[in-house]
Amino acid sequence: MKDPVIDLEHVRVQYGRQIILEDISMTVGEGEFIVMLGPNGAGKSTLLKLLLGLVRPSAGVVRVLGSPPRRGNNAIGYAPQHRVLEADLALRARDVVGFGLDGNRWGPGLPSRKRDAIIDKALLEVDAADFAGVPVGQLSGGEQQRLLIAQALLTNPRLLLLDEPLANLDINHEQEIVELVAQVCRARNVAVMLVTHDINPLLTVADRVLYMAGGRGAIGSPDEVITSATLSQLYGTPVEVVHALGRVFVVGAET
Amino acid sequence: MFDILQYTFIQNALLAGSCVAVVAAVAGYFMIVRGLTFAGHALPNIGFAGAAGAVLLGIDPVIGLFVFTIVAAIGIGFLGERINGRDTVVGIIMTIALGLGILFLSLYAGFAERVYSILFGQIVGISHADVLVTIISSTVTLAILLVLFRPLLFSSFDPEVAEARGIPVRLLAILFLVLIAITVSLAVQVVGALLVFTLLVGPAATAVRIVQRPLWAIVIAIVLGVCYTCLGIFLAAISVNWPVSFFIATISFGVYLPVRLLSQLWIGRRARQKVTLTQNGVFSSGQADEQEQSTSVETMGRIQGKSL
């Protein structure tokens, strides 16, 4: 039997006395699309860092594709929450994507046709070929997000970790990115773990939802997890889940 | 007029100046990409304090220059981990160093001629041994920068992903600051502490506005830096007593200003035009979508407002 992509058993992460994650257990299979939800400080980014080997568990077992997590694992593609810097003027879209290919190697790197061809292909996959030569500082949030996804895909990962790829996007671009990620997930059979604040744009594509609150998590289909009962238990206070206009709203949770 | 090129001291100045200009241009490119240009102003001032201290102790001011800039670079590297607070850390370290420098100067009884030359540059008086030291340190610094090239660029743009990909991001940041400190100490001897910024950041800031491909930007920065330096030394030599650093700073500014003002005409333009040409139809329909979207967002806002 194949190893699961992610296997967590009773994982706890704590810094000193502060517990960030408590008793997280879950298994993610090949090509699964997992959406991670939850308020700020719920431990979402810490969970991603755990899988990347940037944070160590204080207790429990973490396995990524059958092995303990480690830095520099090419089987994981990662795109963190991105902020735009003024300095981004100095790099073109294709340079950013190229980091995914050989950004971790020493030396200046020589230009080569083969390298260009690989980057062109990656740009095409995320529909970014049109702005390959534009400085990244001049691209919109959605365009930059495409580049970060292309960069994360360049090592042919089995697991794609996307931290808030929909933040700061308008609804049009949000939908484009959701479709792009869903397509990549199906076409490459790569497992996706996507962090977001709003489940609604992802309801049709998510296989399962991981809802985090106060360091604990609940995982299951959206219908199982996003219910008043489950979320009230998770938050430890009464929470109401409202279905309206074909959308889901969680009320009373953030206060 | 070109006779002056036959003098050994002019040849020495041109040689040492060009070496420094090459390293400074490459280091300056990475400083711009990393948002570290303020350190390019602070480190030379810190170096001045080191030089003043060395004079007071009766040792070679160049040693004080190197020691102070490198120690400060390591300090900035450790304290200024987070990008938001980094300029504050740099500024605070600079002011304490400047305070020390002023103290050292006032404690020193005589006229500190060598400290004066650290402030304003002394390239035309550079000795043969100094040229040799400059060439060797420039080559070593440049070689290290080339080895670090890709991981440095990657970790400047996206430190989190770079760290996840196994790049020692923090170590790289400190190592880079030390390389800047060495470059600054070399450049101080050409243009002086007050004007190092012009050689370090000037050519690279101009280059990134001309081209966006990293390798080309660095090549252009090197060409500009070497031209400014050689032209500055040449003009200073024929003008008899106008200082080299004045000419270099003036040329650097004179090139940067028009490029900065005119660069809006070409940055991203060519590539953008391609987008609108290939996607003309899609582009206009996209705008219509956006209008629809904005009305639906408004309705959403009202509904949410009621339900709360």
Across-strand partners of A35?
Answer: A194, A209
* Residue A219 pLDDT exceeds 60: yes
- Write the pLDDT tens digit of every residue in B45-96: 999 999 999 989 989 888 999 999 999 999 988 887 655 567 888 899 999 9
When comparing pLDDT for B116 and A22, which is higher?
A: A22
B183-203 burial string, b = 16+ CB within 10 Å, else e?
A: bbbbbbbbbbbbbbbbbbbbb
Closest partner residue to B149 (CB to CB) among A87, A89, A108 is: A108
Q: Residue B257 has what pLDDT?
A: 95
Distance CA A97, CA A46 (A): 25
CB A60 within 8 A of CB A9: yes
Distance CA B118, CA B190 (A): 9
* Residue B132 pLDDT exceeds 70: yes
Which chain A residues contact residue B297 at CB under 8 A?
171
Backbone angles phi, psi at A111, to 5 degrees: -65, 140
* Residue B110 pLDDT exceeds 80: no
* Residue A154 pLDDT exceeds 90: yes
- Interchain contact A242–B (C-beta under 8 A): yes
Share of chain B above pLDDT 90, in %: 50
Burial (CB count <10 Å: 0-12, 13-18, 19+), residue A31: middle
Interface test with A, best of B30, B154, B287 (most A CBs within 10 A): B154
- Write the pLDDT tens digit of every residue in A162-200: 999 998 888 888 999 999 999 999 999 999 999 998 999
Q: Do A172 and B290 touch (CB under 8 A)?
A: yes
Check the CA dihedral B1-B6-B9-B13 and report its sign: positive
Distance CA B208, CA B217 (A): 6
Please choose, from the candidates A116, A192, A98, A179, the residue with its C-alpha nearest in 3D space to the C-alpha of residue A142: A179
Is the complex ipTM higher than 0.85?
yes
Q: Residue B165 has what pLDDT?
A: 94
- Write the pLDDT tens digit of every residue in B192-215: 888 888 999 999 999 999 988 899
**CB atoms inside a 10 Å sphere around CB A229:** 9
Distance CA A106, CA A117 (A): 21
Which token pair is B234? 């040449």
Share of chain A above pLDDT 70, in %: 96
Least confident range of A22-26, B65-69, B110-114: B110-114
- Interchain contact A135–B (C-beta under 8 A): yes
Q: Which residue of chain A is at minimal alpha-carbon distance from B169?
A: A104
When comparing pLDDT for A240 and A192, which is higher?
A: A192
Q: Do A79 and B161 touch (CB under 8 A)?
A: yes
- Write the pLDDT tens digit of every residue in A43-74: 999 999 999 999 999 999 999 999 999 999 99
- Write the pLDDT tens digit of every residue in A61-119: 999 999 999 999 999 999 988 766 545 567 889 999 999 999 999 998 888 999 999 99
* Residue B137 pLDDT exceeds 70: yes
* Residue B180 pLDDT exceeds 50: yes
Region B253-278 average pLDDT: 72
Interface test with A, best of B157, B209, B296 (most A CBs within 10 A): B157
Half-sphere exposure in the Cβ direction for A95 (13 Å, CA): 30
Which token pair is B290? 């956006």
Backbone angles phi, psi at B279, to 5 degrees: -120, 35
What does pLDDT average to over chain A? 90
Which chain A residues contact residue B274 at CB under 8 A?
130
Which CA distances in Å does B116 have to A141, B194, B199?
50, 11, 19
Q: Residue A91 has what pLDDT?
A: 86
Which token pair is A24? 């997280």
Interface test with A, best of B165, B265, B292 (most A CBs within 10 A): B165
Q: How does residue B280 score in pLDDT terms, banded at 50, 70 and 90?
A: very low
Count residue pairs from A and B with Cβ separation < 8 A. Answer: 132
Distance CA A218, CA A233 (A): 10
Distance CA B240, CA A205 (A): 75
Q: Which residue of chain A is at minimal alpha-carbon distance from B143?
A: A107
Report the predicted TM-score, pTM, of the whole model to 2 decimal places: 0.85
Which CA distances in Å does B216 have to A242, B197, B204?
56, 21, 11
Determine the Cα angle at B5 with ends B1 and B8, to 5°.
Answer: 140
Q: Which residue of chain B is at minimal alpha-carbon distance from A138?
A: B268
